[in-house]
Structure 1
Amino acid sequence: MPVCSMTPCYLPAEGLPRRPQGRRRRWTRHFPDQSRVCSMERKPGRPRALTVEVIAQAALDDGIDSFSMPSVARRLGVAHSGLYRYVTDRDDLLVRAMDIAYQDAVWPGSDLSWEELLRELGESTWRACDAHPGLDRATQMAPRPAPSVLAQMPGWVSQVQKGGFTREDAAVAVEFVLALALDSSSQMARLRRIREKYEQSNDVPVVEPYDTDEVWTGRGLYGRKLDIFLAGLETRRNA
């Protein structure tokens, strides 16, 4: 029940009326000053330092793949509705939080060969996902890419293209490696949850060729998949 509508039974003992002593006379109940009571429930105002970047960082800290607008508001100590002065909705905040995560990553320079660049793109993506658990799944579900990654993709495509590939193949190569790293990171997180749930490996139905340490540990089959892709891509050079 809201504080401002409290009935006498919810008031503290010292707030209850007392019958005057002596001769009987009419009297009225005295309640605490309602303006003072209401002020106790007033939610904290928005901090002066609150910015889009602060809100996005709070979402990232809260859990990039699991945060909600109310949980971010609680973390910041502000009213839920106050967040919408800065972001449109959760999807908008998700992309902004992703962007902070990817801005923190160290991306490959422009002095690498096409193969080194693609391998380093995968490494950078893995490091970002390791630093921010859930970033892989969040990126896959986001309505649009992180601006900081999107801004660099033309340069990466151009660098691979200089290695002797068509622009179309270079674009596919860059996108494929980024997607492969994200998918593999997400897959390994899922496999870890499965291993934690089942004490005995025999409890998990697995097709025999995939029941290996390579599949279940580290980065799984990511390295092998990347090697196969790059070997195939090599055959399309200068084609």
Structure 2
Amino acid sequence: MTRPARLGRPTGPRPGFSRDDVVDAALGIGIADFTLTAVAKHLGVAVSGLYRTISSREDLLAACLERIAAKVDVPAAGRRWPDAVRAHAEAIWVMLDRYPGLAGVIMGVPWAHQLFAAPVAQACQVLVDGGLEVEEAGVVLDFVGDTVISTHAQIEVMRSPVAPSGPGGPTGLEETSRFAAAADRPALPEALTPNESWLERGGLDRKIEIIIRGVAAGLAPSATDTGGKPASGGDVSGRR
């Protein structure tokens, strides 16, 4: 899938603001929340004036995602593949924390992930250089990306007030805990029981270690070094 085609060409005289200014305004409002009306108001121009630098909201969203993708940290070359996987997962998490709502955008806009092809390709090469085959590296990055993004999206829900209560109302975690406490519901393992970690990283670090162990189990002995983390049993949470 390729980047969405622009719906038209910017027209009219050169404006007093740049395309970068429009992207700055959109990101300042929020990657998931901006509207062209809000962006225009932020810049002090009419909505029609925006079309001198962008062709549509879709075009602006793509520009925002390109800006974000350009700032994603790529695992350093020379790392063993397990360490590169951990670094990649952390880089995605930091990116999502920096731009609230981004996880939902990536999950909800079919082409959004394509704008991150460059950093993912670089991370893939680091994993290959670190001992994985190309196809294995691709699957690992896909699995890790899905895991981090979906975990972050769920945590954003847990942190936010439940609609339509609005600010000051119960959060998603509080409502989840209320339902979980119902007497007629069966007990679940600790990892599936609502707790304060669901407002931070949840079980993300443990999930990443399980992915690494699973991949290592299918590799030749020379490629199974998990980088000092427990390969079986013990604490695989990876928490510092």
- TM-score scaled by length of structure 2: 0.70
More displaced 10-residue stretch of structure 1: 158-167 or 115-124: 158-167
C-alpha distance in 1, partners of 2:138/2:174?
43
More displaced 10-residue stretch of structure 1: 156-165 or 216-225: 156-165
Pair 1:144–1:217, CA change in 2 (3 A):
closer
Q: What is the number of equivalent residue pairs in this alignment?
A: 193
Higher RCO structure (Cα 8 Å, ≥6 apart):
2
Q: 1:203 aligns with which of 173, 178, 185?
A: 178
1:144 aligned onto 2:112: yes
C-alpha distance in 1, partners of 2:112/2:175?
40
CA RMSD of aligned residues (A): 2.6
Deviation of 1:71 after TM superposition, in Å, equals 0.9
1:129 aligned onto 2:103: no
Deviation of 1:184 after TM superposition, in Å, equals 1.0
C-alpha distance in 2, partners of 1:146/1:200?
35
1:33-72 per-residue CA deviation (whole Å, 9 max, x = no partner) reads xxxxxxxxxxxx9752x12211111111011111111111
Matches within 5 A, 1:43-192: 47-48=15-16, 50-142=17-109, 143-145=111-113, 147=115, 149-192=116-159
Pair 1:71–1:102, CA change in 2 (3 A):
same
1:229 aligned onto 2:204: no
- Percent of aligned pairs with the same residue? 27
Deviation of 1:223 after TM superposition, in Å, equals 1.3
Structure 2 stretches lacking a partner, 5+ long: 1-12, 163-169, 182-186, 222-240
Contact 1:73–1:80 (Cα < 8 Å) also in 2: yes
Higher helix fraction (1 or 2): 1
1:220 aligned onto 2:220: no
More displaced 10-residue stretch of structure 1: 53-62 or 155-164: 155-164
Contact 2:76–2:126 (Cα < 8 Å) also in 1: no
| Structure number with bigger Rg | 1
Structure 1 stretches lacking a partner, 5+ long: 1-44
- TM-score scaled by length of structure 1: 0.71
C-alpha distance in 1, partners of 2:176/2:133?
46
